[in-house]
Amino acid sequence: MKKFFVPLFLFVSITSFSQNLSFEAKGIIAISDADMAASAFADGKLYKEKGAKDAFTTIKLPLEKSYDEVKSAIVSNSAANHTKAMVVSNTHHLAYVVDTRGMVADNVSELTNLNRELPAGGFITVVDIADIAHPKVLYKFPTGKNPIGIDISPKGEYLVLCTEEEGKELQVLELDPAGKPIRIIHRPQNLPAGKISDVSWHPNDNFIAFTFDETKEVGLLKTTRDGPTNKIIRLELQGKPVKIGTSPGAGQFTPDGKFYIIPDLKQGEEGTDGEIFVIKFNLDGASDHSPLSRIKVGQNPEGFAISPDGSLIVVANIKKTYYAWESADLTRKASLSLLRLTPDGSLLPHGEYEFEGILPKSLSFDQSGKNLAVSVYDYFSYGKHFGGVEFWKVTQGDKPSLQKQDFKLFLPRGCHSIRVIK
């Protein structure tokens, strides 16, 4: 792949130096889908900016009053997935970016059906971020048609991904020490056929959660390993999958692995608030998996983040911010729902916080848990369009709260996935 770096003053801006950014991390990486405006998800009109290319952007922290800390390279990516578009190795020196759909030609202005007409994707791009100030695109490798979700094992030895290609719905890729795939472990034979829309690795390294798209069920796979080498030799279905709502999104385990958190987006149910579910997986196989609790949040809660100590969950409610600007149903503000997760798996609401921004899909706490970063696909502004990252302060304890920081980063339009380098 050709390496291509662009002068960042063209599309990256750091604002509000009157107040320093509060965010404890070594950096942030973000990917932006340049192929379409957010409203294309509603009406198919792409409004692609001529010459715009998908971007992989790195932000070195702490920021100074210059552009030296922000770099960008062209890396194909797509917002047509449930927030699992990028993962980072456990050593924080490699990023794996999923190309769910290919880049759209500049002369294409409208698609009747995004699912059918977007160019097929089929590979993962690997980027060297060991020096976050100087990212390097290394190589790409094939996956299967339209990879829609990815996760990396806690020790960085395996990738798990799901694609829309028959026979490659779920794959575990063993990585060599340099991060290249060297072996494929396929889905277990006793796993029913059907599309898998999401995968998540358990913190103890021995289990993988997955979502059946057609049946709206969440299940668990156990990794069976070879004794002398400790390498995975096969996957086995553990217990019976459990039904979750009507349109489950991308889930993740709490840091201690005790609970699995997953949103129900309620897609196709006009005006219906989404929900967050807490699932208890029984890892020993002695009893069934079970939903412990659920709570309503805002509409289209596609992305969420769990605090490092596992006590707080912040959910990004997209609402109808992605509708066409002339639509009477357009929502000009998205929101964040703050939830407290109790030791027994109950969810308690602690407010909803509105902010201006289109299609916020991805969130991440910093390493202290006292600050939060939120991606924004686009803003309601005319002329040049930008995506961005918004920042919030988090008050912890029994009465947690959020406060928006007077600081933001403007990035290429289409910013849909961020990861924090801690």
Going by the DSSP 8-state scheme, the letter that residue 379 receives in this structure is: -
Greater model confidence, 14 or 398: 398
pLDDT of residue 53: 93
Read off the pLDDT of residues 282-330 as tens digits, 9 standing for 90 and up: 998 777 899 999 999 999 999 999 999 999 999 999 999 999 999 999 9
pLDDT at residue 141 above 60? Answer: yes
pLDDT of residue 275: 98
First to last CA, the chain: 28
Domain assignments of the chain as residue spans, ordered by start: 20-421
What is the pTM assigned to this prediction? 0.93
Which CATH number is 20-421 given? 2.130.10.10
Give the percent of the chain with pLDDT over 70. 95
> pLDDT confidence of 129, banded at 50, 70, 90?
very high
> pLDDT confidence of 16, banded at 50, 70, 90?
very low
Q: Which of 146-150, 336-340, 358-362, 383-387 has the lowest mean pLDDT?
A: 383-387
> pLDDT confidence of 5, banded at 50, 70, 90?
very low
Give the percent of the chain with pLDDT over 90. 84
| 3-state SS string for 393-412 | EEECCCCCEEEEEEEEEEEE
Helix (H) or strand (E) holding 41: helix 40-43
pLDDT of residue 98: 96
pLDDT of residue 65: 67
Read off the pLDDT of residues 324-358 as tens digits, 9 standing for 90 and up: 999 999 999 999 999 999 999 999 999 999 999 99
Going by the DSSP 8-state scheme, the letter that residue 359 receives in this structure is: -
Strand order in the sheet with 13-14: 13-14, 401-412, 386-395, 371-376, 363-365
> pLDDT confidence of 4, banded at 50, 70, 90?
very low
Average pLDDT of the chain to the nearest whole number: 92
